[in-house]
Amino acid sequence: MTSVDSETRQHRIVELARTRGRVEVVSLAEELDVASETIRRDLKALAARRLLKRVHGGAVPAETAAFESGLEFRSQVDLAQKQRIAHAAVGLLHGAETVYLDEGFTPRLIAQQLADQRLTVVTSSLLAAEALAHSSTATVLLLGGRMRGRTLATVDHWAVEMLRGLVIDVAFIGTNAISRENGLTTSDPAVAAVKSTAVAVSRRSILVAAHSKFGLSNFCRFADVPDFEAIVTGSELGFAEAKSYEVLGPTVLRV
C-alpha cells in the first residue's frame, strides 16, 4: 500500500464516519478491501490527528472547526448516556427559578424533564422551546437571532444582547469539545459568543457533556473549566480523567 493510497483511504474513512456517525473496523475492512489491522492503524492515525475518536470496535467523528455534527447524529450517538446526564442535571436545580438551556440534544432532554416545573426557561434552542411548548407551569423565553439550521438554535448579536440583560440562576451548557489545556471550545464564533454570555450572566453554570467530548479541542474557546460549578458526564469517562478535571474546580458527576 503506498502512502498516497493510505491518505486516500483515511480521507474516505473520515467521510464515512461523518456521514454515518460511526464506523466499525470489520465493516470498513470489508468495504475498503484491506486487512482489519490496516484499518486499526488508520483509525489510530486519524485519532492522533483528532479527526476521529476511537470507540470500542471502531470510531466516531471528532468535531472540528471544519466539521460539526448535526442534530440527527447527536440524537443517535451516546443516547442512553445523554439521557442519564439529563436526569442527573435536573437534580442539580437546587431551587433555581430561572434556567438557561443551551443548544444541542442533551439540553433538549433536560427541557423534557422541566415541563412540569414552575420556572422560567431561557433558551437559544428551538428544540428545547418545543419540548416545553405545552407546559402549563414553565415560562419559556426564546432568544431571537439568526437560526442555525444544523442545530436549530439562534445566534448573533440579537441573542447575545437579550442574554446580557438577564440574570439567570443556573445555566446548562453543552460543548463540542473540552480539554484541560484549552477549556471549552466550539467550531462557530457565533455559537461561542452565545455560550460565553450565558455563562457570564448565570450565577451557576453546569456543563452537560458525553464522555466523547473530553480530551478534544476545537476552534473557538468560550469558557474555562473552572467557570463551572459542576460537570455532568457519563460513567464511560474514566475515573482518573474525571479527577483530572475535578482538580481544576468543578465537581465531576459520572452517571
Tell me: the pLDDT tens digits for 138-156? 999 999 999 998 889 999 9
**DSSP labels for 119-134?**
SEEEESBHHHHHHTTT
CA distance 99 to 111: 10
CATH number, domain 3-61: 1.10.10.10
Quickly state the pLDDT bin for 72 (edges 50, 70, 90): low
Q: In the prediction, which pLDDT does 22 show? A: 82
φ, ψ at 77 (rounded to 5°): -90, 135
Reading the block at residue 95, the C-alpha cell is 431551587
Reading the block at residue 63, the C-alpha cell is 468535531
Quickly state the pLDDT bin for 20 (edges 50, 70, 90): confident
Reading the block at residue 62, the C-alpha cell is 471528532
φ, ψ at 249 (rounded to 5°): 140, -55
Bigger pLDDT: 64 vs 149: 149
Which of 31-45, 61-75, 110-124 comes out lowest in average pLDDT? 61-75
Residue 203 above 50 pLDDT?
yes
Using DSSP's 3-state secondary structure scheme, residue 170 falls into strand
User: Which secondary structure element, helix H or strand E, spans residue 202, and what is its range?
Assistant: strand 202-208
Determine the residue type at 186.
T
Tell me: the pLDDT tens digits for 157-197? 999 999 999 999 999 999 999 999 999 999 899 999 999 99
Q: In the prediction, which pLDDT does 1 show? A: 40
Q: In the prediction, which pLDDT does 61 show? A: 82
Using DSSP's 3-state secondary structure scheme, residue 42 falls into helix
Residue 43 above 90 pLDDT?
yes
Reading the block at residue 109, the C-alpha cell is 432532554
CA dihedral of 99, 102, 104, 107, whole degrees rounded to 10: -10
Residue 74 above 60 pLDDT?
no
Query: In this structure, are residues 232 and 89 in contact, taking their beta carbons and an 8 Å threshold?
Result: yes
Residue 65 above 90 pLDDT?
no
Taking Cα atoms as reference points, which of 130, 119, 125 lies closest to residue 152? 125
Domain locations in the chain?
3-61, 71-254
Tell me: the pLDDT tens digits for 83-96? 999 999 999 999 99
Q: In the prediction, which pLDDT does 73 show? A: 55
CATH architecture of structural domain 71-254: 3-Layer(aba) Sandwich (3.40)
Q: In the prediction, which pLDDT does 218 show? A: 87
Query: In this structure, are residues 98 and 119 in contact, taking their beta carbons and an 8 Å threshold?
Result: yes
